[in-house]
Amino acid sequence: MPITPKTLRMLADMCNVPKWHAEAIRRRMWRRHACIACSWIDRYLPRCASIFEPGCGSGANLLWLASKGFYELQGSDIDISALNFSRCLQEEMGLAVHTWHDDSLHPKNPPGYQDVILSINWLYHIPGATLDIFLKIYKAYLKRDGIIIFDMIDNSYNKVRNNAFHTADLKKPAELRRPSEYTIRMSRSEVVDVAAQNGFKVVRAAFINSRPQRAVYMVRA
């Protein structure tokens, strides 16, 4: 991303967003779930493809795509400070994406029909969310032959020690730890089944042996 770490920190402080927003951009090349998902778009879709990212946060994925020449880019998020950070980043980078405030699982201002719905590092952080709910909502906003790209915590993470606790709290006494921030964990076969139940077929998948273990999926109706 064409922005210095110093500028990232300054803008994050100015917008009062958690430090991880800036850190995620600075360390983007190590965030393979984001890199793989966006590289699929970069590799296989025309620059005129319309792309919407619910739960876009700072808009880092959209800004990366904008730097690659995509221009029909939209996103929404429930966090106003993250959206302000996104606007500051756009101004600093000389790039433009259209973002707005909305609850992306209960959208009041949904996007128009899109070629791509992109969901990265979002759905599995929302208490009560499910892949089934997500696919049902956003299938309605896909163009014919449109695709949905999303990442999912793999259920192999369930075997990792202390996986039930929030990763930021692992050095705290057990009684002071919060529940895990990863509220959904699914195997590939479970993802395939839920996708099929909603009329989708998994057309591309990549497993990432990170911590936590994740997989990235592309599905098409």
Tens-digit pLDDT profile for residues 182-198: 999 999 999 999 999 99
In-domain check, residue 9: no
Confidence (pLDDT) at 22: 86
In-domain check, residue 60: yes
Distance in angstroms (rounded) separating the CA atoms of residues 86 and 84:
5
Between 182 and 8, the more confident residue is 182
pTM above 0.85, yes or no: yes
**Total count of domains within the chain:** 1
- What average pLDDT does this structure show over 32-53? 97
> Which CATH number is 117's domain given?
3.40.50.150
pLDDT more than 90, % of the chain: 87
User: Residue 105 sits in which domain range?
Assistant: 32-220
In-domain check, residue 25: no
pLDDT of residue 27 exceeding 90? no
In-domain check, residue 77: yes
